[in-house]
């Protein structure tokens, strides 16, 4: 009888396995929320990455992260090649193929990963006039990143955009005068300029837009694992403020 019980217990342990989750993240650093480009740093991957890792551990999820360019990440999510993706804002286009945390049919702000602002950067001595809705004095377009939601925001404001593949490419184009401004995440832009203080560039205020960013899932993954998705969203909301308060200073230092 003892042998039978032992075998049964071993079988129970072996048969139980954490639910796998292949999660996409953008390959551009967005400090302090996500660091690293080719790979995630082992010790300081970003506070949002740490939040995702904590949520996964609390929900018995085996998390594997894949870094991808924005447009490719969205396509792989749409095709079901990724189970989910992180640090993405809400758009109706994405919601057609991805599951967001919702409350009364709208994105659940309480379960967001982070709130980020898009701002404009321009050359020092520029003649642009920006009041938050209207950008005057443009001779060339505003640089953006391919696949990022800011392209839709600028289009709604009637501001002509010129997407490029990377943050570095956009800042170099701006410095060279090939674009008149660059719209990007404020922490990302500030961090890049802090590391490249030879660029004679300035930040414009107010922000173009401030947005909440979420953990989202492919429709197929959410349908197969509704309890897992709900658990992860709950954990993100429950742990976010405490974790960020504990860990943010390590990234800012």
Query: What are the start and end residues of each CATH 3.40.190.10 domain in the chain?
Result: 20-113+212-252, 117-211
User: What does CATH list as the number for 20-113+212-252?
Assistant: 3.40.190.10
Quick one: what percent of the chain has pLDDT higher than 70? Answer: 93
Architecture of the 117-211 domain: 3-Layer(aba) Sandwich (3.40)
Name residues whose C-beta falls within 8 Å of residue 116's C-beta, 6 or more positions apart in sequence: 30, 33, 185, 186, 187, 210, 211, 213
- How confident is the model over 42-61, as a mean pLDDT? 97
pLDDT score at 191: 80
pLDDT of residue 9 exceeding 80, the answer is no
Instruction: Report residue 29's pLDDT band, with 50, 70 and 90 as the boundaries.
Output: confident
Nearest Cα to 142, choosing from 155, 125, 159? 159
Q: With beta carbons less than 8 A apart as the criterion, state whether 58 and 235 touch.
A: yes
């Amino acid at each position: 009888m003892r042998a039978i019980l032992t075998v049964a217990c071993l079988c129970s342990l072996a048969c139980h396995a954490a639910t796998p989750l292949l999660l996409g993240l953008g390959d551009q650093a967005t400090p302090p929320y996500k660091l690293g480009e080719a790979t995630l740093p082992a010790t300081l991957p970003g506070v949002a990455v740490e939040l995702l890792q904590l949520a996964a551990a609390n929900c018995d999820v085996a998390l594997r992260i894949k870094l991808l360019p924005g447009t490719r990440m969205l396509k792989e999510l749409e095709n079901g090649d990724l189970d989910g993706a992180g640090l993405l804002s809400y758009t109706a286009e994405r919601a057609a193929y991805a599951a967001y945390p919702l409350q009364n049919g709208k994105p659940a702000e309480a379960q967001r990963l982070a709130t980020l602002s898009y701002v404009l950067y321009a050359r020092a001595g520029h003649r642009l006039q920006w009041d938050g809705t209207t950008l005057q004095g443009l001779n060339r377009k505003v640089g953006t990143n391919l696949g990022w939601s800011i392209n839709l925001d600028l289009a709604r404001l009637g501001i002509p955009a010129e997407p490029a593949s990377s943050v570095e490419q956009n800042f170099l184009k701006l410095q060279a005068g090939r674009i008149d401004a660059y719209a990007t995440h404020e922490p990302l832009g500030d961090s890049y300029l802090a590391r490249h203080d030879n660029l004679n560039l300035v930040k414009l205020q107010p922000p173009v837009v401030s947005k909440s960013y979420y953990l989202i899932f492919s429709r197929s993954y959410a349908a197969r694992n509704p309890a897992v998705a709900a658990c992860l969203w709950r954990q993100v909301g429950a742990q976010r403020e405490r974790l960020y308060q504990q860990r943010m200073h390590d990234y800012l230092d």
